[in-house]
Structure 1
Amino acid sequence: MSIRIRFSLEPKKKIFSGIVWNCQNAERMTKNLVKEMGYQCYRMDGFLLVQLCPEGYIWFQWKKQKLQGESQTNIAGPGFHAAVIDFLEQLAGKERLKLKVEDRTGYFIRRDFLAMRQKYFYQWFSDLMDLVSGWKESGEYLFCWPAVYYIPERQEGKLITHIRSFSYKELKGMANSGMSVAFARDFFVWNEVEKDAWFYRNSAMVLLNQFCCFMPSDRSEQDREVNETIIDLLEKALTMDRRIPFPKKEYLEVCGLHHHAPMDIEDAVSFHEENAIGCRKHLVYRKIGNMSFGIPGNFLYDDGDPGIMDHYFDGILYGGHDYYIYAAVFEGRQAEFKSQWFEQGKVEETVDFNMGEARVRTAFYEPEEIKGETIYAMSAQVLYKEQRMNINIISRKPGEKEWALSLIKNIKITE
């Protein structure tokens, strides 16, 4: 069961300091405090999303002349829970707003952080460990993974979370020890009231596990920003406390990718070698309609491409691959192959096959010279019920037919 804070904000008086109380001004006030406190905010699907730490978000929405919202706090941790209350109170005090909070932990009223953490967060974590340690290895392999994000590839013998992968052996050890709360600081991003060394290390761990492509910073601004932030967080953690388990291997790898001279970490405590960090070192899956498709985790999404197809790529200097995909849905009738889709070049070979209930057609084209470079392309369509998935894969070196075909074969029915 999740732990949440729900709240609403509105002026204390009808006369509101000469400022009109509306959606625009309420959002402006919130953004001002976000900037002042060094947090980040985004707009998403009609909400203003304020991020206090990795996995720690507050959702704001203008509704019924109030600024309302909620925050799920059990993943980011008890320190984040306290920080949400602090942010809301600062916003209310600064702007003379009336704040109403629903907080079943009682922290908003009693301000007993240790009692709140023990009774609610540590109990929730202990119950979670008891639950997942009994899962079968052939079943579900994700827990506490962001619902709207990509789906990582299964890792043998491990369960994947927001912060890293845990082996079944490790999880069973936590559950059977009766001391699972001792492991909570490895799981919660923000476990204490203050931002201690564990906070900075765990913040870096989330970025390493979910966002880092383990690619050179020179490839893109996204790579540069993620790599740089990871290094800054890990070095801050190590400066504060050299006794905490430290991801030495990943730190040195990212330093190399960022052309950064690493700190001396010889005396730092290493993570156990079984610990797996970095979902984007493997395939990742994204969903379109009733199917999902797998692509290499180091591919970037081209959000500047205005075409109807989603475009993923690794960069000309870093592999030279492009993956284009979109889906068409035909309500009330079965999807069919479209012959024109396979006329994008001189066909060298076509392959038809079935993947369970899905039907697949692929076409490989003869190499083509375009703007001074040789392009090796293939097209594919995958049909399942009313949906047709349309795919183009481009390579810039020969001998990658099987690689391209394997990506098509990784498409899965998800309904």
Structure 2
Amino acid sequence: MELVLYFKTDVRRKKEVRRKGLLKVLNALAKEYDFRIYPNETVFALEFFPSAYLYLELLEGNLNGSAIIATWGPGYHKFLCEFIDVLAKRLKVSFLADDESKYFETRDFGKLTAIYLQKLENHLKACYEEKNPFLVWENPDWYPLPLPNTFIAPLKRWDVEEVRTVIENRFFNKFALNFYIWPHAEKDEYFFRNLGLYLLRTEFPWVEPRFSEEESMIILMLECFQKARELNPVIELPDAEIEAVKMILSGEEAAIGQGYRNETIVYRISGDWSVKLPGEFIRRQEEDTTVFWSDQRIVRIGDVEIPQEMRDISIEEIDDAQEARGEKVYYEAGDLEYRGNLFYVPDEEIPYYCLDGVVKRGNYLALVVITWLEEEDTDWALNTFTSIIKKQ
């Protein structure tokens, strides 16, 4: 379920946009609107809120833009249109927009809200009838594991009975307040509460912050909840979890609350590979290898395509080419083949356990190295290894 907003410079105006001038304008606007800019040579991603992006592409002096609006809602749609107006004015250009809702032309927020409600109603009914566990999920890097009789959305995991009640009683207006992050025209108590809930349920790993970005995210979350309470003293907030977050931020132990990142989630990896890991793991890229780490456990996965001249090679031949150490690991699931060596490394400084293996599907390999410190995590390492799959 989504609405997409497209726009481009009106080439009839003969005004070209230059990269240097565009960056200057964007940097100035970033200070006013508090967004991040991720630029490359021709594409600029503007992140207004976590995972809320506006993409700009500069091609031969013309500027094209797009934004996918799903759970962010009609308030964000309105905000983007107003931002595009400001951008056009600063660049001294005109934009032609392709807006399915027609809001860019009409600026009728009542009609815009009605469109979002109708889309939500249609989508909710379809997911319920088709038993689709994902009401919506936009993060390209990972997704939660579906649970029986539940529906996944960024602000919460909905029970099937809750959704049935909404549909049967046509409580779509109330549902929208708990589904769209920005349901109204202004940044009211629902905006701040829902942005806080988004960070709590989808971004917060329920561990003490490990770097400055995590700490900033937690502070923003708490500020959102505080602002929501200031705007509406009786608005319902997850007060017990908010107190737990404050304790974790200060380094104290606290009860773990609800959130996708305190569950096992599925991380997508290049080459259409994926792996199941606890959501608290931190991800980074080291050239062609994706690295996940958390406390005493590290997982490294590299994607390799078998060269044309070697495609007759079997998993056994690949396994035999590896140094034989420790205990052999064998596993198969359909056309996925797993081979590895599990062994202990008595390092003088930090002794550790290691699973060095390979996963093969067709002409593709995942080269895997998993290391951990405690013997009791061996089953976790084996389960992680066999959770690595490649889409067909």
Following superposition of structure 1 onto structure 2, how do residues 254-403 of structure 1 map, counting pairs within 5 Å?
A: 254-259=245-250, 277-285=258-266, 286-303=268-285, 306=286, 308-315=288-295, 320-332=296-308, 333-334=311-312, 336-337=314-315, 338-339=318-319, 342-343=322-323, 347-370=325-348, 372-403=349-380
3-state SS, counterpart of residue 193 of structure 2 = helix
| CA shift in 2, pair 1:159/1:229, >3 Å | same
The counterpart of 1:224, out of the listed 197, 215, 226, is 215
The counterpart of 1:183, out of the listed 175, 199, 207, is 175
- Work out whether residues 125 and 167 of structure 2, in 8 Å CA contact, stay in contact via their aligned partners in 1: yes
- Work out whether residues 352 and 362 of structure 1, in 8 Å CA contact, stay in contact via their aligned partners in 2: yes
3-state SS, counterpart of residue 392 of structure 1 = strand
Counterpart residue type for residue 277 of structure 2: I
Which blocks of at least 5 consecutive residues in structure 2 are unaligned?
A: none
Matched-pair identity in %: 19
Distance of 2:287 and 2:19 partners within structure 1: 33
Distance of 1:202 and 1:335 partners within structure 2: 53
Following superposition of structure 1 onto structure 2, how do residues 14-413 of structure 1 map, counting pairs within 5 Å?
A: 21-43=17-39, 46-118=42-114, 120-136=115-131, 140-146=132-138, 148-217=140-209, 219-259=210-250, 277-285=258-266, 286-303=268-285, 306=286, 308-315=288-295, 320-332=296-308, 333-334=311-312, 336-337=314-315, 338-339=318-319, 342-343=322-323, 347-370=325-348, 372-413=349-390
Distance of 1:228 and 1:212 partners within structure 2: 11
TM-score, L = length of structure 1: 0.85
- Work out whether residues 129 and 180 of structure 1, in 8 Å CA contact, stay in contact via their aligned partners in 2: no
Offset at residue 235 of structure 1 (A): 1.6
- Work out whether residues 327 and 390 of structure 1, in 8 Å CA contact, stay in contact via their aligned partners in 2: yes
Q: Which digits, 9 at most, give the CA deviation of each residue in 1:85-110, with x for residues without a partner?
A: 11011122234322222223232232
Note the aligned Cα RMSD (angstroms). 2.5
Residues paired across the two proteins, number: 383
Distance of 1:65 and 1:52 partners within structure 2: 25
- Work out whether residues 10 and 65 of structure 1, in 8 Å CA contact, stay in contact via their aligned partners in 2: no
Which blocks of at least 5 consecutive residues in structure 1 are unaligned?
A: 262-275
| CA shift in 2, pair 1:291/1:98, >3 Å | closer
Counterpart residue type for residue 302 of structure 2: Y
Offset at residue 128 of structure 1 (A): 1.1
| CA shift in 2, pair 1:104/1:367, >3 Å | closer
| CA shift in 2, pair 1:236/1:89, >3 Å | same
- Work out whether residues 129 and 174 of structure 1, in 8 Å CA contact, stay in contact via their aligned partners in 2: no
- Work out whether residues 127 and 133 of structure 2, in 8 Å CA contact, stay in contact via their aligned partners in 1: no
Q: Which digits, 9 at most, give the CA deviation of each residue in 1:173-208, with x for residues without a partner?
A: 111112212210111111111101111111122222
Counterpart residue type for residue 124 of structure 1: K
Distance of 1:341 and 1:354 partners within structure 2: 19
Distance of 2:70 and 2:290 partners within structure 1: 33
Offset at residue 154 of structure 1 (A): 2.1
TM-score, L = length of structure 2: 0.89
3-state SS, counterpart of residue 382 of structure 1 = strand
Q: Which has the higher helix share?
A: 2
Counterpart residue type for residue 313 of structure 1: W
